[in-house]
Chain A
Amino acid sequence: MISVEHNLLHTGLTSVQGPLVFVRNVQDVGLYDRVEVIAPDDSVRAGRVVSIAAQNAVVEIFQGTDGLSLSETRLRFLAEPVQLAVGPGMLGRVYDGVGQPMDGGPPIAAERKLRVDGSAINPVRRDVPREFIETGVSSVDAMNVLVRGQKLPIFSGSGLSHDRLASNIARFAKLRGAKQQDFAIVFAAIGVTFDTAEHFRREMDEFGALQRIALFLNLASDPSAERLLTPRVALTAAEYLAFEEGRHVLVILTDITNYCEALREVSSSHGEIPSRKGYPGYMYSDLATLYERAGRIRGREGSITQVPILTMPNDDITHPVADLSGYITEGQIVLDRDLDRRGVFPPVALLPSLSRLMSKGSGKGMTDEDHPALASQLYSSYAQAQHLKVLSSVVGEEGLSKSDRALLQFGERMENDFLNQGDVRRTLEDTFEIGWRLLAALPNEVLVRLSDQQIEQHLASFRHGG
């Protein structure tokens, strides 16, 4: 037996650089084929072929190259892409960063193996996402509607409460009329601390939702090249759960910034020409292969909704990680340090936040006929208030007109009454009521985005009653 196995093994490493291994004299090897690497201490690591030149191949090792040697490392080239075994019973389990169960439980009863890179959904087979998800968070439900099949990241900064917001959304989210049974969460920790992952697991446990969650963990201490694989195995599991088992899957990926850093690290090992801030020129396309795996498919039950989290280095929204993500995802929820400092939770910066699918998931038949006008007016007035805040800090409040002062006050109430809700779940109706009430305090002349009828219908009661 042993001798046969040894026949398949390949030696001939010529160089080891960062996460890459260079091998000569390889035969019949395909691009992106899976490779098993047997280290001198007989431990097995996973890798894949990333480029081929004649009989030389470059292999990327997901678990890092520490402890490998040129002469004693053996490789087994498998004529298949990197895959994930999927099957019933994937939920309620904990996996490592390459998709192996690590909770001491039995292996997954593999129904089949799926390529972790996935395949692009044919655009003609996509269904337009339009089912409103009530997240219970006012700044999302009224202002940045999340719909099934959307990818809506949280743009945060180090130390801000993005994890708390994500776990609130996971706990609160519901769609009217859907069975809880259909709902599943896939959580991929990409280079985050054990604490972060454990906290999320505990929250879900307290909520009694642990049986509906699959956790994929690549922690900060795990090899960085593995981070390229973790979101892919997680999304592969999500695709199985959504499109084969018919569940509505919420995928939380945290933290995409760590993923991009791993990408940069591997790219520089390849000696590739860097683009902005040293990140590879193909980072947009690479991120798209993750984010675009969200969606709905015609004629299939399930859906994949993504809430990726990324921490903007130095809170800079023009940083390539945030910038390229923003160009691919369908909006973003931006968190703000000032609001956070003032104790507003969730500290959502309304103006830079956006949901591109807002018009699909809100309005008549979905939420409320006047929802788009309400959101538009809240945005407009809040933007004016922000502008006036700057102005009044220079010229003083006395220099402002009466309507300007009303706007200024509106801006404060927006932050204290509307945004700030702690960990309490708000129904959509409650959120709307707060919104209309705040607008009622403004004079009609600044309510250009509302029709006379809307003013009469929604604001009159607050005005006369108050």
Chain B
Amino acid sequence: MNEAEVFWINGPVLKAQPVGSMQMKEAVFVGEQRLAGEVIRLDANSVTVQVFEDTTGLKPGSLVQASGLPLAAELGPGMLGCMFDGIQRPLTGIAQIAGDFFDTGVNVAPLDREHRWEFQPSLKPGAVVNEGQTLGLVPESADMSHRVLIPPGVNGKLEWITDAGDYAIEDTLARVRTREELVDVAMLRRWPIRKTRPCARRLSLQAPLLTGQRAIDTFFPIAKGGAASLPGGFGTGKTVLLQTVAKWSDADVIVYIGCGERGNEMADVLDEFPRLEDPRSGRMLMERTVLIANTSNMPVAAREASIYTGMTIAEYFRDQGFHVALFADSISRWAEALREISGRLEELPAEEGYPAYLPTRLAEFFERSGRVQTLNGTEASLTVVGTVSPPGGDFSEPVTAHTRRYVKSFLALDRARAQARFYPAIHPLQSYSGYLEQTERWWQQRGALQWGAFTKRMLELLEEQARLEKMVKIVGRDALPPSQRLVLVCADIVVQSLLRQSAFSEADRFCSAEKQTEMLKVIELFLQQADRAVQSGVDPDTLTGLPITRRIQRMGEDIGNDNLEALALLMHDIHDVFSELAPSFPEAGDDAA
């Protein structure tokens, strides 16, 4: 095995003189404690290594041992419901050895070698098999069957396959005779974290990733297989929104990465997810979730690796035909880790001290999202959503600006909204989604025929509101004509009823697609009736004081997903109120249906 001798140490980065050759991105072990590391630079007489653990006490002369393999994730059954650190060490396993606090040099395999999983073969000996084909199933939980696939690059004849039964992840389950060799196939796989896993082909995006959040689903949708970013200054609710979306989105598998964020937040996820039910399947949320936690006080190099570890796990589930969503909190902390390592290497900085390769790395990361046809031909997707933490809330800084180039859904969080505890604090005029067209058809197929047109009209209304509010600041509200005051009244109702959504209200934290559709109808009806009323001489400001207005503004919280008749009743009452308010009206009741 190749080795190198350490002669230079600076924080998490060291240089060593190699005996024999080492490869870029090769996994290594450093010193007697066997600290995990990775080769990040090669020179004539030295290798540079980033160390994923605390380097306190490390001395020159320590040995760096090459592993001969690139830094890789272990893939197989047993990942769901678990929490790993940035280089996929299981945190529960570490705690069993090191206790409540981290210690260095604790090496625990990511996946349990002893546990025996039930394996149900799907193929018979003699079958011709191709890469990506399902070899058998491993039921991981009541509703979730892990698919054991023929590894990428393996094509040939199935020589032997084991009988149904219980096996450990390293046990050989089958042998495939390829043109070159005989390949043993087990449940356990390794895949280099920085390398994209292959698929048959990439498909265009169609359906929305339903998040149960009106501001996203109705206004700024994220497509399944798409990429989105959530930028916002501190205290604007990025993490709460990301966690909310992770909880309620209609993905089959969730990979949630706490990258350089708070320890208490990860504890919170661990505390909450096992108690929450997926509103669609009734499964516990934890059963479909893989957690990666590399908190802000954990080693910075492992933080850099964490998003790739998470991405590789996400791709592994995608390859099994699942719709996977990856949530990374936060991309900025990852970029800062990159900057810190780059600074220790004394690389020439580009913008704000970030290395010049920052945009390339971001592009590589976000491009791993997508809707694909897997190697075995099934359709699957991997959606990526990342928060961005711009210093001082300034969206022109490099990480926000570059991330924006590679995502199509941009959900800008607004400090003023957050300060008024208006959540989610998504700014409707600074945010955008490039997936509106793709998702419009999906909504239309589900009966919301006017969905696209209506969403567009809502945004126009909000834009008009912003313009008028500037005028109000100069001339006062009373100086506006009734039609413009009506715009202000209506926009406020849209903001209060649709955009505001309480993550802590049981009825409102998740809003089903059906409820969103009905709520849109309520708003549409109100706008229409209010318009007519004002045209017939009603003062728009009297509308704000109506009890019906209050009911509309609170319909999200007051009416649950299972009580859609209440929304129909609300529409009925809107008709009644307005026919009383403007009795000269021609029969408005005709629009009720």
Contacts and interface: CB of A to CB of B under 8 A. Distances in A.
B504 A351 contact: no
A276 B352 contact: yes
B262 A31 contact: no
B586 interface: no
Contacts of B10: 51-52
Contact of B297 (A149, A289, A360): A289
Interface in A326-347: 326-328, 330-332
Nearest to A129: B264
Interface residues of A, number: 85
A118 B100 CA distance: 12
B74 to A, nearest CB: 18
A170 interface: no
B353 A273 contact: yes
A326 B234 contact: yes
A288 B296 contact: yes
Interface stretch (B55-63, B151-159, B171-179, B194-202): B55-63
A285 B297 contact: yes
A323 B56 contact: no
Interface in A188-222: none
A320 B397 CA distance: 14
Contact of B264 (A28, A81, A128, A351): A128
A123 to B, nearest CB: 4
Contacts of A117: 56
A118 B56 CA distance: 11
Nearest to B349: A273
A308 to B, nearest CB: 15
A416 interface: no
A332 B235 contact: yes
Contact of A51 (B9, B541, B558): B9
A375 B421 contact: yes
A328 B352 contact: no
B91 interface: yes
Interface stretch (B123-131, B183-191, B472-480): B472-480
A31 to B, nearest CB: 5
Contact of B296 (A32, A285, A352, A444): A285
Contact of A122 (B57, B98, B235): B98
Nearest to B504: A359
Given A122-B100, A292-B297, A318-B391, A351 B420 contact: yes
B15 to A, nearest CB: 8
A399 B416 CA distance: 24
A123 B419 contact: no
B512 to A, nearest CB: 21
B585 interface: no
A120 B264 contact: no
Interface in B542-568: 544-545, 549-550, 553-554, 557-558
A376 B420 CA distance: 8
Interface string A262-285: 000000000011111000011011
Contacts of B268: 128, 360
A252 interface: no
Contacts of A399: 476-478
Interface in B245-282: 258, 260, 262-264, 266-268, 270-271
A53 B553 CA distance: 65
Given A292-B263, A331-B235, A383-B420, A394 B474 contact: yes
Most buried by A among B102, B352, B418: B102
B83 A123 contact: yes
B102 A122 contact: yes
Interface in B452-494: 472-478
Contacts of B418: 354
Given A127-B267, A281-B336, A399-B477, A119 B103 contact: yes
Contacts, number: 222
B295 interface: yes
> Interface centre among B91, B235, B545, by most A CB within 10 Å?
B235
B340 interface: yes
B422 A380 contact: yes
A28 to B, nearest CB: 6
B7 to A, nearest CB: 5
Contact of B57 (A31, A284, A300): A31
Interface in A120-163: 120-129, 149-150
B437 to A, nearest CB: 33
B266 A379 contact: no
Nearest to A26: B60
A391 interface: yes
B521 interface: no
A288 B259 CA distance: 13
A292 B60 CA distance: 30
A288 B295 CA distance: 9
Given A383-B419, A451-B558, A327 B234 contact: yes
A28 B170 CA distance: 41
Interface in A369-406: 372, 375-376, 379-380, 383-384, 390-391, 394-396, 399-401, 403
A329 B284 CA distance: 30
B100 A125 contact: yes
Contacts of A354: 235, 418
B301 to A, nearest CB: 11
Given A285-B296, A448-B496, A318 B472 contact: no
Contacts of A292: 262-263, 295-297
Given A120-B298, A124-B91, A288-B297, A320 B550 contact: no
A120 B58 contact: no
A33 B102 CA distance: 19
Interface string B496-534: 100000001000000000000000000000000000000
Among B258, B389, B558, the most chain A Cβ lie within 10 Å of the Cβ of B389
Contacts of B558: 451
Interface in A30-70: 30-33, 51-55
A111 interface: no
Contacts of A107: none
Contact of B56 (A31, A288, A330, A391): A31
Nearest to B100: A125
A297 B100 contact: yes
B193 interface: no
Contacts of B83: 123-124
B19 interface: no
A31 B504 contact: no
Closest 9 CB pairs of A and B: A318-B392, A383-B420, A288-B296, A399-B476, A395-B476, A326-B234, A126-B267, A292-B297, A351-B419
25 contacts: A33-B57, A52-B60, A120-B263, A120-B295, A122-B94, A129-B264, A273-B346, A273-B349, A273-B353, A282-B340, A285-B336, A320-B391, A326-B234, A328-B262, A330-B262, A372-B504, A376-B421, A395-B474, A395-B476, A400-B477, A443-B545, A445-B544, A445-B545, A451-B554, A451-B558
Interface of B: 7-11, 54-61, 83, 91-92, 94-95, 98-103, 233-235, 239, 258, 260, 262-264, 266-268, 270-271, 293, 295-298, 300, 333, 336-337, 339-340, 343, 346, 349, 352-353, 389, 391-394, 416, 418-422, 472-478, 496, 504, 541, 544-545, 549-550, 553-554, 557-558
Given A31-B11, A52-B8, 10 more contacts: A30-B58, A31-B55, A121-B102, A126-B264, A273-B349, A276-B391, A292-B296, A376-B421, A379-B421, A448-B553
